[in-house]
Amino acid sequence: MKLGEILKYYNTIKYLRPVQVLSRVKRSLPTFRKRSHTLDLPLRTPVNKVQPYLNKPASYLGNGEFSFLNRRVTVSTKADWNASAIPKLWLYNLHYHDCLSSNTTSSVIKEDLITRWMNDNPIEQGNGWEPYPLSLRIVNWIKWFLNGGEPSEAALASLARQVVSLSEQIEYHLLGNHLFANTKAVFFAGCFFRGKEADKWLALAQRLLVQEIPEQFLADGGHFELSTTYHATLTEDLLDIINMVLSYNLDIPSEWNKAASKALTWMDVMTRPDGLAPLFNDAAYGVSPDFEQLKAYGNKLGLQPASRETSEAIMDLPESGYFRFDGANYSFWGDAGQIGPDYIPGHAHCDMLGFELYAKGKPVVVDTGTSTYELCARRHHERSTAAHNTVQVGAHEQSEIWSAFRVARRARIVSRKHDQKSMVATCRYFGRKSLTHTRRFVFNHHRITLEDIIEGRDADSVSIARFHMHPDVTPVLDGDSVIADDLEFNFSNATKIVVADYYYSPEFNKLRLAQAIEVEFENTLITDIRL
């Protein structure tokens, strides 16, 4: 292994927490699980009515036909559940069983799915027995059983065995949203079943929740991995947990309700007028609930987001780093925050000082999105600096992204301040203490001004600011300006302006051809957006 590779691994590993390192070592050792171990556990009876869970898409169509992530596949043999030709994320979805929470999927199809899965997936074999799919499936089975599904003895025995398996492989090596999903599943099982084993699960889950809720939900309400999609998913998780607490009449720390309310408020701030969220970091539409769904769910549990101010002033989310400004006919979201938690940056992109713009009733400047988690050139590009509405200096990346979910050396926000109508922040590129990008955002009634300042660049490197237009917006170059439908982008100090094609990725496995404005400059660029 070359020195550069060694340093890349070192600069990735050094941020891990001790529990992650120890857990990875433990997971590499041979395991001796008792595969024949079964449990015949009685069930607890809920004290109060379980509130309806969020409705999910009808992803199982019957007769072995499944549809996830814009891809439809027929699963007809045992081998198909783990087919090597199918992307891992699709296979994971196959084992989640979200359709058990679908209002349009019949009970017959749901029962068929559970029976098929039990027959085709032997204990501890295949994707379905990995901890993350285990976690989601355990929750989905319990949700259905609590909402009118009639579990067979075989299904209850399988469910208990799945919980045993999960409890033996909690994802301490990853932490973050994976650990939260594990914890939620064990919590659900501890509530649903009764007996000494169930009490152990419940105690473990409660201990982890007391630890992880304040760790993962920031003071401003955002989920600490800084993805709008994962924030929505984890907020639903937290609401589901509170639903179970209320149903089984358990004691709940007041902080859990406060965290849920703040999470709803955060999502309100981060939701566009069309009901969608900006696609910051790993984010895609169609895989998590939207704000209105979560707000309605929270209301049923007695939780509401705090009212959001509508005055023309910056709404800052300081711990997350995001901010919003609403003008006369536009809404703007900017990212002036860090890359995310150092010990789990797997869903982070090189998007510091990027933004999205929604104007005159439609999205105009958009994040390019996420179409895949597979290790490939497309995945690397979607995480790169060039794929975001920020400035790239030469061929340098803001952070040292590699593999599908790895980050070695990281960019840092080294200064950040704002008043009512302006935000200014400075990003320092990884490994280059002298290379910084400062962006000043200034907001007025019908106008946005961006001032980009690059310091410490190589003499021969060119700075490029990119503005990715939504596919429904057509930018037309006109001298030092670009007309984007009924918006005008004016550039000062530009050395070259081009309109280039790119692919917008609003959903997994979906690419739409669109156009981006690419502006070359040396040290300073002023962008004036007139609305």
Q: How many residues does the chain have?
A: 531
Strand partners, 468: 516
Q: What pLDDT score was predicted for residue 38? A: 60
What's the mean pLDDT in 370-376?
Answer: 98
DSSP 478: E
Q: Is the pLDDT of residue 117 over 90?
A: yes
Mean pLDDT for the chain overall: 95
Structure tokens at 375: 């290790």
Q: What pLDDT score was predicted for residue 364? A: 98
Q: How far apart are CA 466 and CA 381, in angstroms?
A: 14
Q: What pLDDT score was predicted for residue 312? A: 81
Q: Contact 354/367 with Cβ under 8 angstroms?
A: yes
3-state secondary structure string across 122-160: CCCCCHHHCHHHHHHHHHHHHHHHHCCCCCCHHHHHHHH
Q: Is the pLDDT of residue 431 over 70?
A: yes
Report the SS3 class of residue 378.
helix
The label of the residue with tokens 């959903």 reads: 507
pLDDT in tens, 233-282: 999 999 999 999 999 999 888 899 999 999 999 999 999 999 999 999 99
Structure tokens at 384: 């790169």
Report the SS3 class of residue 489.
strand
pLDDT in tens, 22-52: 999 998 888 765 554 567 899 999 999 999 9
Q: What pLDDT score was predicted for residue 414? A: 97
Tell me the CA distances in angstroms from 137 to 144, 169, 199, one per residue in order: 11, 15, 20
What's the mean pLDDT in 359-369?
Answer: 98
DSSP 277: P
Q: What pLDDT score was predicted for residue 33? A: 58
Q: What pLDDT score was predicted for residue 37? A: 56
Q: Contact 489/467 with Cβ under 8 angstroms?
A: yes
Q: What pLDDT score was predicted for residue 34? A: 54
Listing DSSP states for 408-461 in one string gives -S--EEEEEEE-SSEEEEEEEPTT-TT-EEEEEEEEETTEEEEEEEEES--TT-
458 CB neighbour count, 10 Å cutoff? 11
Q: What pLDDT score was predicted for residue 311? A: 72
Q: Is the pLDDT of residue 178 over 80?
A: yes
Q: What pLDDT score was predicted for residue 454? A: 97
Q: How far apart are CA 326 and CA 311, in angstroms?
A: 8
Q: What pLDDT score was predicted for residue 2? A: 87
- The model's pTM is 0.96
pLDDT in tens, 183-204: 999 999 999 999 999 999 999 9
Q: Which of 225, 528, 523 is nearest to 391 (CA)?
A: 523
Q: How far apart are CA 33 and CA 306, in angstroms?
A: 47
